[in-house]
């Protein structure tokens, strides 16, 4: 048995199960987001489209969460086959890594769009103090960059690992 196949395969399997469980839990909790929007609609200062932007953000979050569950279910299947030294498992893992690079771009662009919209909305609600608040909030942008790196670094590393000829030689059809 190859130690790297065991470590990477079981690590990928464990992370996939963990992400699926967390995202399923997140979907259950997201039902309360609709109640939050309904509550905010009762305040006059939120009548200027704020709740529409929040609803769009919550909807995007639900769609991305469902997609993530599907993505990691495929990753889980690939990891199971990979620890069994199946060539299909290696191919699936390489494919999900390429999709992961695409996910990095899509999630970062969408995250930036939502972040700027929410910053503008908060600035409008805060009135005169809104502009200084926007300049003091690098956390949103930092989170977007961190999310991008958390998609890209493991994906690129895994692609390089999975394409090694010595690893391909270990795999069974």
**DSSP states along 54-102:** HHHHHHHHHHHHHHHHHHHHHHHHHHHHHHTTBHHHHHHHHHHHHHHHH
10-23 pLDDT, tens per residue? 999 999 999 999 99
Ranking 60-64, 68-72, 98-102 by mean pLDDT, the lowest is 60-64
Measured distance CA(112)–CA(109) in Å, rounded: 5
When pLDDT is averaged across residues 33-59 and rounded to a whole number, the result is 63
When pLDDT is averaged across residues 130-144 and rounded to a whole number, the result is 67
| Cα dihedral 13/74/25/83 (nearest 10) | -10
* pTM (whole model) above 0.85: no
140-158 pLDDT, tens per residue? 788 889 999 999 999 999 9
Ranking 7-11, 53-57, 73-77, 102-106 by mean pLDDT, the lowest is 53-57
Measured distance CA(103)–CA(75) in Å, rounded: 14
Highest mean pLDDT among 46-55, 91-100, 131-140, 142-151: 91-100
Residues in the chain: 173
The residue with tokens 């309904």 is 38
For the chain, give the percent of residues with pLDDT over 90: 55
Identify the pLDDT of residue 153: 96
């Amino acid at each position: 048995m190859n130690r790297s196949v065991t470590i990477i395969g079981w690590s990928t399997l464990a992370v996939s199960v963990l992400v699926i469980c967390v995202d399923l839990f997140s979907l259950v909790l997201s039902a309360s987001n609709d109640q939050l929007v309904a509550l905010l609609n009762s305040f006059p200062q939120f009548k200027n489209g704020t709740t529409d932007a929040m609803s769009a953000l919550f909807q995007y979050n639900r769609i991305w969460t469902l997609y993530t569950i599907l993505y990691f279910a495929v990753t889980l299947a690939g990891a199971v086959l990979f620890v069994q030294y199946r060539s299909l498992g290696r191919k699936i893992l390489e494919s999900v890594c390429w999709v992961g690079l695409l996910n990095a771009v899509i999630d970062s662009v969408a995250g930036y769009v939502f972040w700027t919209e929410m910053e503008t909305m908060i600035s409008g609600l805060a009135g005169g103090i809104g502009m200084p608040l926007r300049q003091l909030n690098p956390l949103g942008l930092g989170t977007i960059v961190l999310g991008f790196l958390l998609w890209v670094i493991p994906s690129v590393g895994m692609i390089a690992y999975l394409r090694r000829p010595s690893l391909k030689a270990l795999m069974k059809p």
